Copies of this chain bind each other. A is one copy, B any other.
Amino acid sequence: MIRVGINGYGTIGKRVADAVRAQPDMTVHGVAKRSPDYVAVGAAEAEYPVYAADEDRTDGFREIGIDLAGMVDDLVAESDVIVDATPSGIGAQNRPLYERHETPALFQGGEDATVAEVSFNARANYDEAEDADYVRVVSCNTTGLSRFLAPLYENYGIEKARVTLVRRGGDPNQTGRGPINDAVPDPVSIPSHHGPDVQTVFPELDIDTIGLKVPTTMMHLHTVNVTLENAPEDIAAVREQLQDEDRLLTIPEYAGIDGAGTLKDFALDAGRPRGDIWENCIWEESLTLEGNDLYCMQAIHQESDVVPENVDAIRALTGHLPGPESRALTNETLGIDSGRLSKRDELAIDRQTAD
């Protein structure tokens, strides 16, 4: 059993903790948290050992009935691997702590790529993490683009990719974030940092990206253009290719799913924990081929798509399982690709079995 310590128990950290707990080969040794708030109450109710990240606030945990298991230093010393899920920029400050205890660590995509030897996506470059001590799981957007581009790259070759990322302003619980009535070029310079970030996973890929922010909280929306080197004759071939991939959900027209709100409603109906959507959500009607130019729109759930990638990265870093086996195990234990709308036959089969 790999003892996993989670430093930072916010949007990503709490989801990674639950995902790690669902694995047969890992255990959550503990979680480190700064604030004694409702999220800390959730950690205690989930019976994760709670470590304090801030010496000055330990009394606050005691006051709300949480017995601390120790300080973050203890967690790092006692764990086989640390998942750093602290806010962007804090991860890099934490690296000396992990080095001091010789504890391998994962960082999140908010950190600069230089924080670790490898920028990681389970579908694209799992093997590269096997000899590393420090790995950076790329951001939600880069994860979503890597998953979409990998099968196209392998099957058709990519001459050039051009992507506009219409990003949500903040997460649902980030009350202070904006914009509230604007569409903001962000960054205003082109290409945005997302293209180079995808290149940390695909060094040879030619990709330009443009980023903006809008006043929503639910998901990012990507408009994607990929000029293929060897385009198939028909878009159906691409659609089937994508449907065969794991962690890609294609949305059929009949479903009536017309935006991020309905996608979240669908996920909540399906009983997904926290309504999480770990998969890229690709609208089938948007998949279009014009000569060598492939187009589509996909939604990316910024709170959760990196969660299975973190689980796989733990296995890659510890040399525990080969990539395809890790991915399959993660998918099965979390319920990824279940409730797939895109395969009409599956529902009928499920129903017949149940009858």
Q: From B265, B271, B349, give the contact of A173 (CB < 8 A).
A: B265
* Tier of interface size on chain A: 35 or more
Question: 1/0 per position for A336-355, CB-CB distance to B under 8 A?
Answer: 00010100110111110010
Within 8 Å by CB of A354, from B14, B38, B47, B174, lies B47
Bound CA–CA A254/B60 (angstroms): 9
**A256 CB contacts on chain B under 8 angstroms:** 35, 37-39
Per DSSP, are chain A's interface residues mostly helix, strand or loop, or mixed?
helix
**Listed stretches A64-72, A89-97, A155-163; interface member:** A64-72
Q: Taking the full assembly, how many copies of this chain does it contain?
A: 2
Residues of B with C-beta under 8 A to A347? 41, 44-45, 64-66
On whether the beta carbons of A172 and B265 are closer than 8 Å, the reply is yes
B-side contacts of A275, CB under 8 Å: 268, 274-275
* A110 at the B interface (CB under 8 A): no
Not counting A65-B349, A172-B265, a sample of 18 additional A-B residue pairs whose C-beta atoms are within 8 angstroms of each other reads A37-B255, A39-B265, A41-B347, A42-B270, A47-B354, A60-B254, A63-B254, A64-B344, A65-B344, A66-B347, A67-B351, A171-B261, A172-B262, A173-B264, A175-B261, A268-B274, A268-B275, A269-B274
